[in-house]
Amino acid sequence: MAAPEHIERIELHRLRIPLKVPFVTSLGPNNEADNVVVVITTRNGIIGFGECSPFWTINGETAETCLAVGHHLAKALLGHDAVDLEGAHALMDRLIFANNSIKSAFDIALHDIAAQQAGSALADHLGGVKNTVLVTDYTVSIGAPIKMATDAVDIVRDDFTVIKVKLGGDGDLDIERVATIRDAIGPMIPLRIDANQGWDPETAIRVLNALGHFNIQHCEEPIPRWQFMELRRVKEASPITIMADESCCDHHDAERLISMGACQRFNIKLGKSGGLFKARQIIALAEAASMEVQIGGFLESRMGFTASAHLALTSTAVKYCDTDTPLMFTADPVEGGLRYGPHGELIVPTEPGLGARLAPQWLASPAHVITA
């Protein structure tokens, strides 16, 4: 059993970085990443880093709420054994319901400490699989069909091998969007589509059948999350595989969707699940149900997506990665961490722990410092 690593100091940092161009989904535009970084130091001097990217329209959190709730979480966790992940989650969940985004930042930092103490890279510490190549897609924001097709051509020229396309709203326009992209890039490069809850069930069925011949790997969250009881009907009528995203936040959601036969795949995001601890429970459920999963995210920097990449190496059920948003930032605040290779390949650090940290110039003015 690992020796205790009692928490002595916790810092909360707000991390705001403009995007090169707006990132637009059916839920609206995003012009910047507005994230929160958690830095945890133990009495033995081990420092762990974690990050979350609160998404108003999906998890109901903002940077401001994360900082406020994070202050309370930090006070509760002072003196706790950082290696006791289950106990830390029980403590956080007793203190406040939901708030999975900020909880995920604490979870990542605690995992970073636990893996450093064990002397292992995080993926290895979590029982990672070997000889797995991770490849990310690159995303086309929703917009006019011609603009989306132009963006898709640029992505192909940048040597990415899979393209994700944001849709949702007017069904006929969405069909035109995909058809125009296919005309521009040809039939071979796989597409992934994401409606972000943008269709009603009837529209989803109609659009998915119209797009069935366009070499589409899956469709994420075609209908509103609160209509999850309709998801199985959409799945059974669709020639395109259905992936639950907003309707699958934690392992309880995953268990419910599996029991309903609602979808064939899950999109796991640490900011939805509350971190690695519960995300791994989703993966275990998917494995037992012979389901494939995708590891995605919000607007995290390379720090948050480094944790996601380590998670992706823990199971052969992980077949897809959607971890491209750090490439959209105007600045990179991270030292070490995940790197992007040719064709969208993800190169995961092998040093002990997470292998990513916030660069010193971004650590100058923490919003909160909580010490024992």
Contact by Cβ (8 Å): 268, 294: yes
CA 73 to chain centre: 22
- Residue 133: pLDDT band (50, 70, 90) is very high
Architecture of the 124-357 domain: Alpha-Beta Barrel (3.20)
> Which pair of structure tokens corresponds to residue 125?
């510490």
pLDDT value of residue 145:
98
Contact by Cβ (8 Å): 276, 110: no
Instruction: List active site positions.
Output: 166, 194, 220, 245, 269
SS3 state at 357: strand
In angstroms, the CA 74 to CA 366 distance is 13
Half-sphere exposure of 301 (CA within 13 A, CB side): 28
Q: Which amino acid is residue 253, in one-letter code?
A: D
SS3 state at 351: coil
CATH topology of domain 7-119+361-371: Enolase-like; domain 1 (3.30.390)
Q: What is the pLDDT of residues 25-77, one digit of tens each?
A: 999 999 999 999 999 999 999 999 999 999 999 999 999 999 999 999 999 99
pLDDT value of residue 132:
85
- Residue 1: pLDDT band (50, 70, 90) is low
> Which pair of structure tokens corresponds to residue 148?
């989306």
Write down the domain spans for the chain. 7-119+361-371, 124-357
Task: Please compute the mean of the pLDDT values over residues 172-188 and round it to a whole number.
Answer: 98
pLDDT value of residue 113:
98
Q: What is the pLDDT of residues 273-317, one digit of tens each?
A: 999 999 999 999 999 999 999 999 999 999 999 999 999 999 999
Question: Who's near 148: CB < 8 A, 6+ residues apart?
Answer: 140, 141, 142, 165, 177, 180, 181
Task: Please compute the mean of the pLDDT values over residues 234-262 and round it to a whole number.
Answer: 98
**Backbone phi, then psi, for 154, in 5-degree steps?**
-60, -40
In angstroms, the CA 201 to CA 222 distance is 8
CATH topology identical between 7-119+361-371 and 124-357: no
Q: What is the pLDDT of residues 212-242, one digit of tens each?
A: 999 999 999 999 999 999 999 999 999 999 9
In the chain, the percentage of residues whose pLDDT exceeds 70 is 99
Identify the residue with better confidence: 1 or 111.
Answer: 111
- Residue 120: pLDDT band (50, 70, 90) is very high
